[in-house]
Amino acid sequence: MTDDPSWMLELVGKPYAEMNCWDLWLHVCERRGMRIPESIFGWRRLLRKVPQGEAMRTYDAVLIREPELGIVHHIGVAYDAENFLHSAKEFGGVVLDRVSRYAVKLRVIARPINDS
């Protein structure tokens, strides 16, 4: 398992068609030697919610929820305490973005269980 996140910056610019948000999450899990869930719904067994007020850490999952529907529809990976990588069609693929841009949408930070 690697602790230096700089390798993730190599993923920035990867086209959405090659790496959507779930593919990005799976790639990071694989690279870090984590057990990979068989589907997007498997994240619940792999992650635990970070308590409100606790700082986001590198490799935490950033789950973005659609407020009207109340469901998680997007996942990214924390790069540091303020930024995360995610892949979206609207950006054309993988980008490094500020978590604060998504404050309007209810977001959940979750930490891989083996990173507790």
pTM over 0.75: yes
- pLDDT of 105 above 70: no
Q: What is the pLDDT of residue 113?
A: 66
Partners of 97 in beta bridges: 84
Across residues 34-57, what is the average pLDDT? 74
Nearest to 21 by CA among 78, 87, 79, 77: 87
Give 17: exposed, middle or buried? Use CB within 10 Å, 0-12, 13-18, 19+. exposed
Please give the Cα distance from 71 to 63 (Å, whole number): 10
Q: What is the pLDDT of residue 47?
A: 77
Cα-based angle 112, 76, 91 (whole degrees, multiple of 5)? 170
62 near 99, Cβ under 8 Å? yes
